[in-house]
Amino acid sequence: MDVFVAVLVGLLGLIIVTVTMVSAAQTFVVPRGTPMLITRWTFLGMQAIFHLLTGRAHGYRSRDRVMAMFGPFSLLALPLVWLALVVVGFAAIYWSLGVHPWQDALLASGSSLFTLGFRGPTGVLTGVIEMVEAAFGLGLVALLISYLPTIYATYSRRELLVTALETEAGDPPSAAELLDRLLRIKGLPLLETYWADWTKWFNEIEETHATTPMLVFFRSPSPDRSWVTAAGAVLDSAALVVSTFDPEEHIGHCNAEICLRAGYLALRRTGDYFAMPYKANAQPGDGIAVSRQEYDEVCDRLVDAGAKLRDDRDEAWRDFIGWRVTYESTLLRFASLCMAPTAPWSSDRPIEFHRLPITRHRDHRLIRDRRESGAR
């Protein structure tokens, strides 16, 4: 019976160590945003703590100061959780090999993991295992240290265009302000290259934020800026140009459509990790959160600024809905998930707060259903 219990405890420890190392490798090494339970539960725990803190904050700026620490603190919490699990896992292995009581097994595991050396091996086998554990500990720390520059380099590239958007689209950014300013300075021809720059930005968002989802929670240096509201302003401006502006206005309609597709695909691919529901084949009849009155007010403002719009406003409105519906659901949910600052047509729309699912079964099912239903 004692041998059976020892083998069972040893196998349990081996499973804990294996799952932990796979989680670390999937999170920091494998170039794919695979949902791992340890990573997800760590972020869920940190999310619960930070939302408790924001609940006591007064005003948006106070909440923003708290949430600005959520992404970095969660990132730093991950290796601590992994190290703790490795200590427990190897302690179970040592206990199964005869290192008793549990306190001594834990001390031996901690000494080996952090290469402290105050507990020597009690045999050849335990000595080999201690060396393996020490290598695992150094590997986890090295992973974090080597990965931090990559994360912040990606963050810096993302924020470059987000910061530049304030000059063009105001603060908070909006599609109406962006197009109005360009109209008044006769700068609509600039949109040809503008869409190309943002298409590249969306492609990088899909590649980096879908594979490293923790970047979603890294907030902009200014509390009034957010990558989510920037994405919303750019996509709305592209949707307005494609649907509402006269096609004879040579302002990059083709590039705007490419930018729109890159944008909603980036939001969907990143949203898949967070199990965000959306319709892969969204139709204009599904409706949007922007009212016809709001749309008409923006159109009137653009006409006053000198825009040449399509004659059939009703058809233009239907076309605008057809584009907006492709990205609105994920955009609004990201605004909720990230507690984005208030901005027109994105974070100012009411939507239920989106939480991370506790397990990954739900999001795998959602992703499969979306792919089976096809993409727009």
What are the tens digits of pLDDT across the range 44-90?
A: 899 889 988 888 778 888 889 999 999 999 988 999 999 999 999 99
Does residue 105 share a domain with residue 247? Answer: no
- Confidence at 131, pLDDT banded by 50, 70, 90: confident
Among 78, 110, 144, the domain-final residue is 144
Provide the domain count of the chain.
2
Task: Check residue 364 and give its pLDDT.
Answer: 44
Query: Do residue 134 and residue 270 come from a single domain?
Result: no
Distance, in Å, from the CA atom of 346 to the CA atom of 328, rounded to the nearest integer, reads 8
94-103 residues labelled b (16+ CB within 10 A) or e (exposed):
bbbbebeeee
Q: pLDDT category, 293, cuts 50, 70, 90?
A: very high
pLDDT at position 355 is 63
Q: Judge if 140 and 174 occupy the same domain.
A: no
* Average pLDDT score over the chain: 87
Q: Which domain holds residue 340?
A: 170-373
Residue 165 lies in a domain: no
Mean pLDDT to the nearest integer, 24-28: 85
- Whether 288 is in a domain gets the answer yes
Our measurement of the distance from residue 206's CA atom to the centroid of its chain's CA atoms, rounded to an integer in Å, reads 9
Kindly report the pTM of this predicted structure: 0.86
Q: How far, CA to CA in Å, does 82 sit from each of 22, 76, 139, 143, 173?
A: 10, 11, 11, 12, 40
Indicate if 101 and 175 belong to the same structural domain: no
Residue 158 lies in a domain: no
In the predicted structure, residue 250 carries a pLDDT above the cut 50: yes
Cβ count within 10 A of residue 142: 10
> What was the pLDDT predicted at 120?
59
**More confident position, 123 or 142:** 142
Asked whether residue 111 falls in the same domain as residue 195, the answer is: no
- Of the listed ranges 28-37, 236-245, 357-366, the least confidently predicted one is 357-366
Lookup result for tokens 């896992």: 89
What is the rounded average pLDDT of the residues 346-371? 60
User: Between 176 and 357, whose confidence is greater?
Assistant: 176
Average pLDDT over residues 142-170: 91
Last residue of a domain, one of 127, 144, 161: 144
Residue 152 located in a structural domain: no
- Same structural domain, 182 and 295: yes
Closest by CA position to 33, among listed 206, 217, 211: 211
In a domain, 156, yes or no: no
Q: Which residue from 291, 239, 295, 293 is spatially nearest to 264, judged by alpha carbons?
A: 239
What is the pLDDT, as a whole number, of residue 200?
97
Average pLDDT on 346-351 reads 85
